[in-house]
C-alpha cells in the first residue's frame, strides 16, 4: 500500500493546481461581457477578476509548496528528481512571477479604465487576454511534463 502522506500530498497538490488554474478561467469572458454595461457592472467584474487572481496566486504558491513536499517525500530531495519535474517546478515559478509582475499590473490598468469609456476598457482587456492565454499554455505544458515518464 502506498504511503498515506504521499497520497494526501498528491491529492492536495492536484487540488491546488486545479483551483489555481480554474479559478481565473471565467475572468476574461466576464470582463469582456462588461463592455457596454454600466460602471457598476464593470466595477463588479473587475473586483471579481482581481479576487480570482489573488486566490490563484495563493493556490499557485500552495501548488509549488506541495510539489516541493512531494519531491522530498517521494525522491528524498532534488538529486533523484526527473528533469521533467524540475522543468515543471521552474515553470510554476515563472507563472508565479508572471502573475505578480505582469497580470496584477494589467488588472490595475483595467480598473483604471472603468471610467474612461468602452474603448479604453476594451483596449485594456487585450494584454490581459494575452496574459491569460500565456498562463493557460504554461499550465498545459506543466501538466504534460507531469505525465512524461522518465526513461
Q: Where are the domains of the chain?
A: 4-147
Q: What is the pLDDT of residue 36?
A: 92
CB count in 10 Å sphere of residue 37: 13
User: Which one has a higher pLDDT value, 102 or 149?
Assistant: 102
Q: What is the pLDDT of residues 32-57, one digit of tens each?
A: 999 999 999 999 999 999 999 999 99
Task: Tell me the average pLDDT across 86-93.
Answer: 93
pTM over 0.85: yes
Give residue 147's pLDDT. Answer: 87
Distance CA 32, CA 38 (A): 13
List pLDDT tens digits, range 97-127: 999 999 999 999 999 999 998 999 999 999 9
Amino acid at each position: 500500500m502506498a504511503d498515506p502522506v504521499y497520497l494526501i500530498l498528491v491529492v492536495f497538490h492536484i487540488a491546488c493546481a486545479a483551483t489555481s488554474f480554474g479559478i481565473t478561467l471565467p475572468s476574461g469572458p466576464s470582463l469582456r461581457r462588461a463592455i457596454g454595461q454600466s460602471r457598476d457592472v464593470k466595477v463588479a467584474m473587475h473586483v471579481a477578476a482581481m479576487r480570482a487572481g489573488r486566490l490563484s496566486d495563493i493556490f499557485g504558491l500552495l501548488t509549488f509548496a506541495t510539489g516541493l513536499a512531494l519531491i522530498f517525500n517521494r525522491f528524498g530531495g532534488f538529486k533523484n528528481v526527473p528533469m521533467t519535474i524540475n522543468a515543471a517546478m521552474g515553470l510554476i515559478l515563472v507563472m508565479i512571477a508572471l502573475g505578480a509582475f505582469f497580470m496584477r499590473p494589467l488588472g490595475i490598468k483595467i480598473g483604471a479604465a472603468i471610467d474612461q469609456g468602452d474603448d479604453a476598457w476594451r483596449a485594456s482587456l487585450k494584454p490581459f487576454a494575452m496574459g491569460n492565454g500565456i498562463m493557460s499554455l504554461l499550465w498545459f505544458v506543466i501538466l504534460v511534463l507531469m505525465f512524461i515518464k522518465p526513461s
